[in-house]
Amino acid sequence: MIPIALLFLGGLLLSAFFSGSETGFYRVTRVRLVIDGIGGSWIARRLLWLTNNPSLFVATTLIGNNAANYLVSLAIVLAVRHLQFESQAIEIAIPIVLAPIVFVYGELLPKNLFYYAPNLLLQRTGWLFLTCALAFSPIAALLWVLGRLLESVLGETPLRLHLTLARQELQRILEEGGHAGVLRPAQQRLAQSLFNASEGTVGNLAIPLARATVVSNGAKKGQLLRLARRQRKALFPVTDSKTREVIGYVRTIDQYLSPKETIDHVLPMITLPKQEANISAMLKMQSQQTEMAYVVDDDERQAGILYLDQLTKVLLESDTPL
């Protein structure tokens, strides 16, 4: 009787595994598989390959579920024959009594578990699914070939994600996440603004030197404070008193707290080419902890001034590509 019980338990576990894996594959975040694959996870790479070849995945789950159901049915039949009940009613009642157990623990519970934690469970059990896919490959290959033929005839292919994500693929994924309720509207707008900002360059945002409000190095502090109150600005570029080139910037609050009567404590700027992407420029300015940069043209001449809060505003409020 123990081998029969083990056969029933094994079939039940296989049914739970393949039923849950099926739900997990439809719920898994494919971008997460890409990130894990880039990070070196061989399981994520193989699972990603299976998501790009759905015919093999479907064939593996169908074969696995059928094999599991066969083992469960065989175990029940063997148990009934082994116990040798005299009443046929009892023999009929045993499969009926066990059916809810098989449904709950072999179908419903694993599907719910994989529904709520698809990434974690697939990473933990992916090696077993890949092993089964390899074992069932002779039969699954026939369905895969049939699926490829249908794709060639219909001219349609499933969405494929590779280890390098194209921008259009990412935008499509974000749209899907918004429709599915995974992303909040604010998160979706922020991601879209990030894409829009990445299309622009700092040359389009920089304020030309002729239009920028600058102060001369060594100027009176009172002059700077009056200018700050009038224009409501917290930062000002500082130019050399002789060459008139920008040499850095000052913060109004620093000059207000300084005991000196002339401008001092000039902070350094970083240099950015006008072709620099907005996102790249923001990362550079944040890493260098500077709030202002000067933009140079193709001849390495100063062409304009760029504020960090300009880039932040583009990221948070941009609705259209620059």
Residue range 14-26, pLDDT digits in tens:
999 999 998 988 8
State yes or no: pLDDT of 159 exceeds 50.
no
**Tokens 């404070």, residue located:** 225
Q: Report domain extents, the chain.
A: 2-162, 166-196, 202-317
- φ and ψ of 7, to 5 deg: -65, -40
Answer positive or negative: Cα dihedral of 26, 29, 31, 35: negative
Range from 96-105, 130-139, 183-192 carrying the lowest mean pLDDT: 183-192
294-299, long-range: CB within 8 Å, 24+ apart, which pairs? 294/237, 294/246, 294/269, 295/202, 295/203, 295/206, 295/271, 296/271, 296/272, 298/274
Burial class for 202, CB neighbours closer than 10 Å (0-12, 13-18, 19+)? buried
Average pLDDT taken over every residue of the chain: 80
Domain spanning 202-317: which CATH class is it, in words?
alpha beta
pLDDT band at 49 (very low <50, low <70, confident <90, very high): confident
Beta carbons of 125 and 17 less than 8 angstroms apart: yes
Instruction: List the structure tokens of 18.
Output: 């393949």
- DSSP for 82-118? HHT-S-HHHHHHHHHHHHHHHHIIIIIHHHHHHHH-H
d(CA 114, CA 30): 15
